[in-house]
Amino acid sequence: MMDFLATIGRRSLATFERLGRGTLFLLQVCARLGFLFSRPSLTLVQVWAVGVQSLVIIGVSGAFVGMVLGLQGYNTLVTFGTEESLGVVVAKSLCRELGPVLTALLFAGRAGSALTAEIGLMKATEQIPALEMMGVDPLRRLIVPRYVAGIISMPLLATIFTAIGILGGYFCGVGLLGVDEGAFWSQMQLHTALGTDIGNGVVVKSIVFGAVVTWIALFEGFDAVPTSEGVSQATTRTVVNSSLAVLALDFVLTGLMFD
Amino acid sequence: MARRAIVREPVRPDQPRTGGGGNAVRLAVIEMPSVMQDPTHTQMPHDPLVTLEDVSFARGSRVIFDGVNIEIPRGKITAILGPSGGGKTTLLRLIGGQLEPASGKVTVFGRNVQGLNTAELFAMRRRIGMLFQSGALLTDLDVFENVAFPLREHTHLPESMIRTIVLMKLEVVGLRNARRLYPRELSGGMARRVALARAIALDPLMVLYDEPFAGQDPISMGILVRLIKQLNRALNLTSVIVSHDVIETASIADQMYLIADGKVVESGPPATMKSSATPAVVQFMQGLPDGPMPFHFPGADYLTDLIDGASP
Amino acid sequence: MKITRTMEIGVGFFVSLGLAALLMLALKVANLTSFGNADGYLVLARFDNIGGLQERSAVKMGGVLVGRVTRIDYDSEAFRAVVEMRIDPRFREIPVDTAASIYTAGLLGEQYVNLDAGGDEEVLADGGELEITQSAVIMERMLQEFLYSKTVKDENP
C-alpha cells in the first residue's frame, strides 16, 4: 500500500518536473523568437518540412471526413425531413470541431513525431553538442524556426482541411444523395458566422493547437535520452501527449468560445 | 541567408583556382588578425592555455573526477588517456563549458569558464574547435555546407570568400572533391576528416579531439595521426586529444596524462610514461587485462556468488 | 537543408492554398459577400414581440432574401422591440406602407422578417421605419387563446 502511494508520489513528482522543464524550454524558445527575423529562410525550409509535407494526408483525410459527414448527416436529417440543413451540419461540425481537432491530431502524428525524431537523433548523434561547441545556440538555430513553422502551418492546414471537408460533404450530399444545391449553401451561409465559427473555430483553435503540438514535439526531442531507444520513446510520447493535450484543450476552448 | 547579403562583395580577384593558390594565402592573412590580436597570444609562451585546478565532477552518485589537476601548454599536443567510460569526454565538455564542475576551477584562455555569461561562453567556444567521436556532422547538409556552417553562422563573409576558405580547409584533409557528398555517403574516417575541416574553419586557437582514432582502420588512423600533427604545427594550434589508443597517441603527443578512477595517475612526456613503474601506467600502456584496473566488475566474490543461490 | 527552388514553390503553393481555403470559407460558407457592412441601407421596424428573431436572421420579400437583421434593441418608452435591418441596395424600391411580420420557416424552423410590399408611390429612405408590423406568433399564446375561446364557447353555447 505504502509502495503504491510512493509510486504515485514519484510519478506525479516526475510529471511536474517534466512540466516545469517543458515550460522553461518554451520560455527560452520564446525569448529567442526575434532570431526569426534575421534568418527567415530557415523558417521557410521548416514550413516546407512541417506544412507542405503534411498537405497530402490532410487533404485526403479532409475529403473523407467531409464525405462521411455528408452521408451520416443525410441519413439522420432525412428522417426528420430536414435534409436541407445538411450544409449547416457539415459546415458547423467541421469549422468548430472536426477541422481543427482532426488536423491537430494528424499533425501530431505526421509532423510532430518527425520533429521529435529529428531533434532527438541530432542529439543522439552529437549534432546538438557540436552546435553548442561551435558557439551556435541550438535553441535559436534549430528550435525557433521549427516552432514558428509549426505555428504558421497548423492554421493553414486546418483551413485547407475544413474547406476540402465541406467540399467533400457537398459532393456526397448534393452530388450523390440529391440534396438541393441552393438549400445546401444558403442554409450553411445563414447559420455560419465568420467570427465565431470560422475565426474562433478554425483559426484560433488551430493556432493554439499548433503552438502546443509543436512545443511538445520539440521539447520531447530536445529532452530525449540520446540513444535510439530514448528517441523512439520520445516520439511515442510526443504523439500520445500532444493528442491528449489537443483533446483536453479543445474542451476548454470550446467552453470559452461557444457558450 | 539575408545576413550574407549585408556584406558587399569585394572586387573579386581572379576566379579562385582549384586548391586556392595566391588568393587563398591572402584570405588566410585576412582571417588571421582576430587570432593575432588575441591578448593571450602575447603572454608568456610557457603559460598554459587551459588549466584545471582541483576539479571534481560527479554524475548522480558516480564520481567521475575527484580533484583533477591538468595543464594544457600552448602550442603543444596534450593527450589525456584513460579507460573507456572514465569520463574523458566529460573532461572536454568541462573545458568547453557545457558542463560545470562540482568544485574546482577550469580556466580557458586566462578566464574562469564558470564565470562567463552565455554570450562570452559562445565567444570563447568560437575559438575552440572540437572534433566529436562520431564526427557529429549535420546530416541534412553536404560536406561543403558542413564546413561552411561555422563561417555562415559567425561571419558576414561574402559567398566567394566562404567558398575559398571551405575549399582550403577541405584540401588540407584531402576531401575537396568530396564536397558535394552527404554525411551518410561518407566512411567513418572521411566523416571525421570533414569534421576536422569544420573544426578548423574559423582558425581556432585550440582543437579538442574526442577519441579521434576509435573505430578506424589502420589507414585512416594513420591519416588522422599525421593530420593532427601537421595541423598543430602549421596553424600553431594547441591540441588536446582524449583517447585510449596508446600507441597512436604516444607517437604525436608532447605531454600525456593518464586518468583512472577519477584521478590523474601519472603525467609526463610519452617517453617518461612508457618507462614508468607505476602499476596502473604499466597496465594501461601495455594493455594488460588485469591489474590495478580490475578485469572483473567489482562485487561479490565468485565462489560465494556460486554457492549463495539466493542472489539473483 | 538547403533551400531549393522546389521548396520555395512548394511553400508558396501551400500558403496560397491556405489563404484560398480561408477565402472560400469566408465567402462561400459564411457568405461574407452579400450584405457586407458597407452595402445596403437601414430600415427600422417596431414589434410587440419578436419571438426568436436574432441578429443575422433573414429578411425576405415574397420568399426572396433581401437583407438581414443587424441589430435588436428594446425601446423602453414605447415598450416595444426595435429591429434594425440592412436591406440589399438591389432592392431599393420598398413602398413606405410595406408591412413587416415575423414568420417561422416551417413548423419548427428559424424565424425571419417577412416584408409584404404595399401600394404607395413613395419608397423607403435609408433609416426609414416600417409602420405596419405584426409580431411573432408565440405558440404558447396561441394555444392559450384557442383553449380560452373553446372554454368560453363551451360555457355559453
Q: What is the pLDDT of residues A200-250, one digit of tens each?
A: 888 999 999 999 999 999 999 999 998 989 999 999 999 999 999 999 999
A86/A91 Cα distance (integer angstroms): 8
Neighbour count for residue C121 (Cβ, 10 Å): 7
pLDDT in the model for residue A106: 95
- If asked whether residues A8 and A115 sit together in one domain, one would say no
Q: Taken in order A153, A154, A159, A163, is the CA torsion positive or negative?
A: positive
pTM of the model: 0.76
The verdict on residue B160 lying in a domain is no
B67/B6 Cα distance (integer angstroms): 49
Angle value at C-alpha B64, between B61 and B69, nearest 5 degrees: 140
Q: Report percent pLDDT > 90 for chain C.
A: 10
Cell 503552438 belongs to residue: A211
Which DSSP state fits B104? E
Question: What is the mean predicted confidence (pLDDT) over C101-123?
Answer: 81
| Residue C112, helix vs strand vs coil | strand
> C-alpha distances in angstroms, B67 versus B47, B58, B266?
21, 11, 14
* Residues on chain A touching C18 (C-beta within 8 angstroms): 155-157, 159-160
Of residues A146 and A78, more confidently modeled: A146
B56/B288 Cα distance (integer angstroms): 28
- If asked whether residues A141 and A17 sit together in one domain, one would say no
C110/B125 Cα distance (integer angstroms): 70
* Residues on chain A touching B137 (C-beta within 8 angstroms): 127
The verdict on residue A82 lying in a domain is yes
The verdict on residue B217 lying in a domain is yes
The verdict on residue A46 lying in a domain is yes
The verdict on residue B251 lying in a domain is yes
- If asked whether residues A75 and A113 sit together in one domain, one would say yes
Strands C128-130 and C41-47: parallel
Cell 573579386 belongs to residue: B12
- If asked whether residues A68 and A14 sit together in one domain, one would say no
Among A23-32, A140-149, C31-40, C71-80, which is the least confidently predicted range? C31-40
- Judged by CB atoms closer than 8 Å, whether chains meet at B98 and A40 is answered as no
Contact of B205 with B37, CB cutoff 8 Å: no
Cell 554570450 belongs to residue: B119
CB-closest option in B2, B139, B154 to A135: B154
Contact of C10 with A52, CB cutoff 8 Å: yes
Counting the structural domains of chain A, the total is 2
Q: Closest Cα to residue B208, out of B83, B98, B102, B105?
A: B98
pLDDT in the model for residue B261: 78
The verdict on residue B1 lying in a domain is no
Between residues 2 and 31 of chain C, which touch chain B (CB distance below 8 Å)? 2
Lookup: cell for B4? 550574407
- If asked whether residues A76 and A24 sit together in one domain, one would say no
The verdict on residue A37 lying in a domain is no
Q: Does A1 touch chain B (CB under 8 A)?
A: no
Domain that holds residue A85: 42-257
Counting the structural domains of chain B, the total is 1
- Judged by CB atoms closer than 8 Å, whether chains meet at A141 and B153 is answered as yes
Q: Closest Cα to residue A31, out of A120, A137, A132?
A: A137
- Per-residue pLDDT tens, chain B, 312 aa: give them: 334 333 333 444 444 444 433 343 334 433 433 444 444 444 445 578 888 888 888 887 788 888 888 888 888 899 888 776 667 778 888 888 888 888 888 888 888 888 888 888 888 888 888 888 888 888 888 899 999 999 988 888 898 999 999 998 898 888 888 888 898 888 888 888 899 899 988 888 899 988 888 877 888 888 888 888 888 888 888 899 988 888 888 888 888 888 887 888 888 888 887 777 777 777 777 777 777 666 777 777 777 777 776 656
Q: Closest Cα to residue B264, out of B86, B75, B132?
A: B86
The verdict on residue A223 lying in a domain is yes
Which residue(s) pair with B7 in the sheet? none
Angle value at C-alpha A31, between C18 and A158, nearest 5 degrees: 15
Q: What is the CA radius of gyration of chain B?
A: 22
A40 CA to chain B: closest CA distance, Å?
A: 8
pLDDT in the model for residue C12: 92
Neighbour count for residue B277 (Cβ, 10 Å): 7
Contact of B227 with B234, CB cutoff 8 Å: no
Contact of B55 with B103, CB cutoff 8 Å: yes
Q: Does A196 touch chain C (CB under 8 A)?
A: no
- If asked whether residues A12 and A66 sit together in one domain, one would say no
A149 CA to chain C: closest CA distance, Å?
A: 11
Q: DSSP string spanning B38-78?
A: -GGGGS-TTS-SEEEEEEEEEETTEEEEEEEEEEE-TTSEE
- If asked whether residues A195 and A225 sit together in one domain, one would say yes
Q: Does A49 touch chain B (CB under 8 A)?
A: no
- If asked whether residues A184 and A227 sit together in one domain, one would say yes
Query: pLDDT by residue (tens digit) across C62-111?
Result: 888 888 888 888 988 888 899 998 888 888 888 888 889 988 876 666 78
pLDDT in the model for residue B2: 39
The verdict on residue A36 lying in a domain is no
A235/A223 Cα distance (integer angstroms): 11
A84 CA to chain C: closest CA distance, Å?
A: 11
A154/A78 Cα distance (integer angstroms): 35
Q: Report percent pLDDT > 70 for chain C.
A: 89
pLDDT in the model for residue B112: 87
The verdict on residue B12 lying in a domain is no
Which DSSP state fits B17? P
Chain C residue closest in CA terms to A54: C14
C113 CA to chain A: closest CA distance, Å?
A: 14
The verdict on residue A191 lying in a domain is yes
- If asked whether residues A130 and A212 sit together in one domain, one would say yes
Q: Does B139 touch chain C (CB under 8 A)?
A: no
Give start and end residues of each alpha helix (H) in chain B: 2-6, 21-31, 33-36, 88-95, 118-126, 143-154, 159-172, 188-199, 218-234, 246-252, 270-274, 279-286, 302-307
Contact of A125 with B136, CB cutoff 8 Å: yes
The verdict on residue B199 lying in a domain is no
The verdict on residue A170 lying in a domain is yes
- If asked whether residues A157 and A197 sit together in one domain, one would say yes
Domain that holds residue B290: 33-127+204-307
Contact of C113 with C45, CB cutoff 8 Å: yes
- If asked whether residues A14 and A62 sit together in one domain, one would say no
Question: What is the mean predicted confidence (pLDDT) over C15-44?
Answer: 78
- If asked whether residues A5 and A88 sit together in one domain, one would say no
* Residues on chain B touching C1 (C-beta within 8 angstroms): 140-141
Contact of A179 with A169, CB cutoff 8 Å: no
- Judged by CB atoms closer than 8 Å, whether chains meet at B126 and A132 is answered as no
Q: At residue A169, does pLDDT exceed 90? A: yes
